[in-house]
Structure 1
Amino acid sequence: MRNSDLDQKIIRYGIIGCGMMGQEHLRNIALLPGARVAAIYEPNELMANAAKAIAPNARLAMSIPDLLADDLDCLLVASPNHVHVDQLEEVARIRPLPVLMEKPLYTSPEQGARLEALRASYPAPVWVAMEYRYMPPIQTFLDEIERATGGVTMLTIREHRFPFLPKVGDWNRFNRNTGGTLVEKCCHFFDLMRLALKSDPVRVMASAGQAVNHLDEEYGGEVPDIWDTAYVIVDFASGARAMLELCMYAEGSRYQEELSAVGPAGKIEALVPGPGRFWPTHLGLPPVPQVIVSPRHPKGPQTVDIPVDPTLLAAGDHNGSTFYQHQRFLSVVRGAAETEVTLDDGAWAVRMGLAAQQSAVTGQAVTF
């Protein structure tokens, strides 16, 4: 089909996986002009019914081959982490459409090797869903980072948040399914580090573990092994350093994510609140995202509110970023733009997470 025809066509999505994150995608696709969900494959009956309630005109498919038999223009994959590579391989064999693939791209070194083979042969665009890039306060932070800092030498990302939520079959309670917390949750932040610093990592050091959450839970006779606390330090080829601080039992925080970048000219920060549905109503309205620029000369912090469209806030838990991500992905599907978050970006984020997991277990730095 010619690009001019795609410009006029309603883009038809096929969805693989419609749990909590998949349903957020459904709500955001519904807000996009020129797009609709045509078919959904979700093997869990409860989640399939919930997805059908959001997208009532979508067909419920019985399998991935059944889904791919529909008249589709692109796919969204939002299934559990450990099946992403299996499913992408299946799509590649049957009908390789443009794909928006939820993070993390894969969960183990063995899957990483299989992904490399796919990357060399997959004929359509694959966009890795790193939503944090598209949160309005973080976008502003990234847009202004060079001007504010004069070139970043130190980058800090802090996430103080709620514990992992329940998922279908409790798959997210075990490292074998998630890749580990520093892959599952923190690949977003490793992606932001590479993006902000415009450099690749050379060494990772981490201290992490399970301190508070899930210790009194049991599934099939197993206690969860997913971590809830971590410090990770990353050295980059550019000479810059970055640090991640994660705490998953700090849901009482005013802001969920706090980013800070410093360089010879000054400092810039982004303050990002967590999902509005978790904000205590007795405290009034949730906090508004902010960006703060603190030059060295003349001294004086400058704070700017970065409000997010309430409609987008209501559609998901990621400060509108899911909607903005889909806008850009649709431009790729229509042939009007290039993929912004590539398979290489997604693979680096997982490599960094796996290296951090290894460093925390062994007590040794991991080099690339």
Structure 2
Amino acid sequence: MTQQVRYGIIGCGMMGQEHLRNIALLPGASVTAIYEPDAEMARIALALAPDAWLAPSIEELLDFEPIDALVIVSPNHCHVEQLEMIAARRPLPILVEKPLFTDPGDAARLEALEASYPAPIWVAMEYRYMPPVTTMIEALDSAGDIKMLTIREHRFPFLPKVGDWNRFNAKTGGTLVEKCCHFFDLMRLILQAEPVRITASGGQVVNHLDEVYDGVPSDIWDAAYVIVDFDSGARAMLELCMFAEGSRYQEEISAVGPVGKVEAFVPGPGRFWPAHLGEAPVPQVVVSPRDPKGPQVLDIPVDPTILAAGDHNGSTFYQHAKFNAVVRGEGEVEVTLRDGLRAVQMGQAAQEAALTGTSVTL
């Protein structure tokens, strides 16, 4: 019989609700407590987890005995303080959403947590667990030692969030932190190397230009190019465009080595695919050897139930399955605090490079 894992959720906005839907698909998993200060988000969350207790505060949630693990899905700038509160009050296993932090000065606080926290902490990097991405990573040997890696995301603009916190660099860490730490994490994972220099160009080009909140104009970026040099000699590039939701695929990833190329093509959320176009695209992986030439195209379908539970091509479910195993003592943390820290630092370096017009050395 599968051991029951009981979850406490901190933050139940759009992404928190995706976590709730995916936990509900896991055997032996239940949400027993929720902290969500926004009344409408709390109402939706309780509809998804009707047996959960709505805690009046994080402190009271932590004091609630029937919890085995925590999921932090609060706004970005809240994560470090909440992690420290949990460490001081009740250090349970944690899945914490990306980005891990937004203020460069908080890196030392996270390093202290990494050294002292007595339970597992898993940083939520969903893009690692998209089925076409995991299939692509498994096929990398067919390309040899990867020398060039390109990640393109052409997608929809930032969606509305509670309090409009995602419209400002100060609360998100900037687009290249908030949105793109996923991709910097993928670069390190695919290349198995560390970044040494970052060059970037980006800005607010099309979206949110006329948006003003409480008298303050939105300053969040919607487009960028980033080039990263790694200590292995490999190079990687990110191309981000957040006004391209008409694309067939949202993410296109290309890894090239001396003997071939491997690509992944990932569609965006199915709920955004126009119904008049028929079925949404199926994810694909393409393996293209240099000799003998001849691309091999693999369709990577995702279980429709899992696909419908979120906007990340099923990855949130697969990530939760692995984290659940860790909580039960049957697996190892795959995305560590160190991984989350490095991904944010790459994003911060990219923001700095784009703002200053200089290369940033890490």
**TM-score range with shorter-chain normalisation?**
over 0.9
Aligned to 2:298, what secondary structure does the other structure show?
strand
Aligned to 2:331, what secondary structure does the other structure show?
coil
Which stretches of structure 1, 4 residues or more, deviate above 3 A after TM superposition? none
- Alignment match of 1:211 (pick from 205, 213, 218): 205
Taking only the aligned residue pairs, the percentage that are identical comes to 71
- Alignment match of 1:220 (pick from 200, 214, 217): 214
Alignment of 1:125 onto 2:107: no
Q: CA deviation at 1:359?
A: 0.2
Report the Cα distance in structure 2 between the residues aligned to 1:322 and 1:181, rounded to whole angstroms. Answer: 21
Alignment of 1:280 onto 2:274: yes
**Bigger Cα displacement from structure 2, 103-112 vs 355-364:** 103-112
- Alignment match of 1:77 (pick from 72, 86, 100): 72
Report the Cα distance in structure 2 between the residues aligned to 1:109 and 1:310, rounded to whole angstroms. Answer: 40
Q: CA deviation at 1:9?
A: 2.9
- Alignment match of 1:11 (pick from 2, 5, 26): 5
Q: Which residue of 2 aligns with 1:183?
A: 177
| Gap regions ≥5 residues in structure 1 | 1-6
Q: CA deviation at 1:148?
A: 2.1
Report the Cα distance in structure 2 between the residues aligned to 1:45 and 1:88, rounded to whole angstroms. Answer: 24
Report the Cα distance in structure 2 between the residues aligned to 1:267 and 1:141, rounded to whole angstroms. Answer: 10
Q: Which residue of 1 aligns with 2:42?
A: 48
- Is residue 108–residue 354 contact of structure 1 (8 Å, CA) maintained in 2? no
Report the Cα distance in structure 1 between the residues aligned to 2:94 and 2:337, rounded to whole angstroms. Answer: 11
- Is residue 126–residue 342 contact of structure 1 (8 Å, CA) maintained in 2? yes
Report the Cα distance in structure 2 between the residues aligned to 1:99 and 1:219, rounded to whole angstroms. Answer: 33
Q: CA deviation at 1:8?
A: 4.5
Q: For residues 163-209 of structure 1, what are the alpha-carbon distances to aligned partners after superposition, in whole Å with 9 as ceiling and x for unaligned?
A: 00000000000000000000000000000000000001000000000
- Alignment match of 1:251 (pick from 227, 245, 250): 245
Q: CA deviation at 1:112?
A: 1.5
- Alignment match of 2:162 (pick from 168, 172, 176): 168
Q: Which residue of 2 aligns with 1:100?
A: 95
Q: Which residue of 2 aligns with 1:3?
A: none
Report the Cα distance in structure 2 between the residues aligned to 1:334 and 1:167, rounded to whole angstroms. Answer: 33
Amino acid at match of 2:133: I
Aligned to 1:128, what secondary structure does the other structure show?
strand
- Alignment match of 2:315 (pick from 316, 321, 333): 321
Q: Which residue of 1 aligns with 2:136?
A: 141
Q: Which residue of 1 aligns with 2:110?
A: 115
Give me the CA root mean square deviation: 0.7
Q: Which residue of 2 aligns with 1:268?
A: 262
Report the Cα distance in structure 2 between the residues aligned to 1:244 and 1:251, rounded to whole angstroms. Answer: 17
Q: For residues 118-152 of structure 1, what are the alpha-carbon distances to aligned partners after superposition, in whole Å with 9 as ceiling and x for unaligned?
A: 1111111100000000000000011111x221110
Q: Which residue of 2 aligns with 1:335?
A: 329
Q: Which residue of 1 aligns with 2:338?
A: 344
Aligned to 1:344, what secondary structure does the other structure show?
helix
Aligned to 2:213, what secondary structure does the other structure show?
coil
- Is residue 101–residue 128 contact of structure 1 (8 Å, CA) maintained in 2? yes
Amino acid at match of 2:38: N
Report the Cα distance in structure 2 between the residues aligned to 1:304 and 1:333, rounded to whole angstroms. Answer: 34
Report the Cα distance in structure 1 between the residues aligned to 2:336 and 2:295, rounded to whole angstroms. Answer: 35
Report the Cα distance in structure 2 between the residues aligned to 1:96 and 1:268, rounded to whole angstroms. Answer: 41
Aligned to 2:261, what secondary structure does the other structure show?
strand
Report the Cα distance in structure 2 between the residues aligned to 1:108 and 1:33, rounded to whole angstroms. Answer: 37
Report the Cα distance in structure 1 between the residues aligned to 2:261 and 2:210, rounded to whole angstroms. Answer: 42
Report the Cα distance in structure 1 between the residues aligned to 2:30 and 2:40, rounded to whole angstroms. Answer: 22
Alignment of 1:201 onto 2:157: no
